[in-house]
Amino acid sequence: MAMAEPLRVACLGMGWWSDVLADAIKRSSKLKIVACFSRSEPKRAAFAAKYGCRASPSYEAILKDAQVEAIINTTPNDVHLETTRMAAEAGKHVFLDKPIANSVSDGRKITECCRQAGVVLALGYQRRRESHFRWIKQQIDAGVFGQLVNAEANISRDRLGQLDLSSWRYTAAGMPGGVMLQIGIHYVDVLYYLLGPIKAVSGQFVRLVLPGDNPDVASLILEHENGALSTLNASYASASEYYLMNIYGKTASAYYDMHHGLSLLKRGEKQPVRVPCANNDTFVEEIEEFAAAVRGGARPEVGGDYATTSLAVIRAGILSAREGRRVEVAEIMVKD
């Protein structure tokens, strides 16, 4: 049986994350970068040279190019709607890096314009694909954990001395909620994936170490629809990179951190048992799933509706911190 032709994509927005995804595309045989565009001519020239594609003179030129089937969109959050709508109207499928937008209303519009145009929309939420989280999910679904009661998570990086205040990623206007919207949303997604939908949020956001106008430390208490509570801490002010995810059930608990891996403790046992998990290429997995969806396969695991709900959790946390109250996600879905 002949292999399907690689999905021909154009990369839009040349920043460090565009290279992360382009490197993943190079590791895959299922996609091929044929063009790129950034408003910065030097950036697009450098990207084109690095990845062996055409540097297009404009986004419009890419959208008119019949060879381009899909857009890998790593533009700033506040232009996700405009750039994705243009792609959808031109019949181009879109892989969009998270978050879907800075507001729920924009997230809804992005989802709807892709739906109406009949193009695939996939969101970049690679962390849920990590093998340790996949394993925990399998055990939860198999009933090993019993009733889920609690979870705690931490996603932290050191940005001291590495901060570019000219970047939209580190401004309140470009990334409202700061560290929680930029990286915390990944673990909001994992907590949602493992413990189920989130109905209400209480949040605190502070700026302690980094210059600028945006929070570098944030904490959320999440109330899940099944009654479980989870806590999430996110920081750009920690001594180094760190990830933690502990899931507590009535009959078993799982403990994961980036230094010690994954272990499972069952009720009645004295010591947790180490669970070996291979390092999987989460970026290749998500872009190949996108390519398969474009070619007529199953819908992407993370689409626009879910990504908009995921964003609403962060927006609820921001409102909670600002007004000093518990905020229901449903309230944000109506008014944000």
| Domain residue extents for the chain | 7-126+284-302, 129-279+311-335
Q: Residue 222 and residue 326: Cα distance in Å, rounded? A: 10
Q: What is the pTM of this model?
A: 0.96
Whether the CB-CB separation of 259 and 246 falls below 8 Å is answered with no
Which CB contacts under 8 angstroms, 24+ apart, belong to 273-281?
Answer: 275/132, 275/135, 277/130, 277/131, 277/132, 277/135, 278/131, 279/131, 280/129, 280/130, 280/131, 281/24, 281/27
pLDDT values of the chain reduced to their tens digit, one per residue, 336 residues = 345 799 999 999 998 899 999 999 999 999 999 999 999 999 999 999 999 999 999 999 999 999 999 999 999 999 999 999 999 999 999 999 999 999 999 999 999 999 999 999 999 999 999 999 999 999 999 999 999 999 999 999 998 767 777 787 777 788 889 999 999 999 999 999 999 999 999 999 999 998 888 999 999 999 999 999 999 999 999 999 999 999 999 999 999 999 999 999 999 999 999 999 999 999 999 999 999 999 999 999 999 999 999 999 999 999 999 999 999 999 999 999
Residue 268 has which token pair? 């009645």
**pLDDT reported for residue 170:** 79
Residue 254 has which token pair? 């799982």
**pLDDT reported for residue 111:** 98
**Cα 246–248–253 angle (5° rounding)?**
80
**pLDDT reported for residue 2:** 45
Q: What is the CA radius of gyration of the chain?
A: 20
Q: Residue 176 and residue 173: Cα distance in Å, rounded? A: 6
* Residue 325 buriedness (CB in 10 A; 0-12 / 13-18 / 19+): exposed
- The architecture (CATH level 2) of 129-279+311-335 comes to 2-Layer Sandwich (3.30)
Domain 7-126+284-302 CATH class label: alpha beta
Residues 6+ apart with CB under 8 A from 233: 153, 154, 155, 156, 217, 218, 219
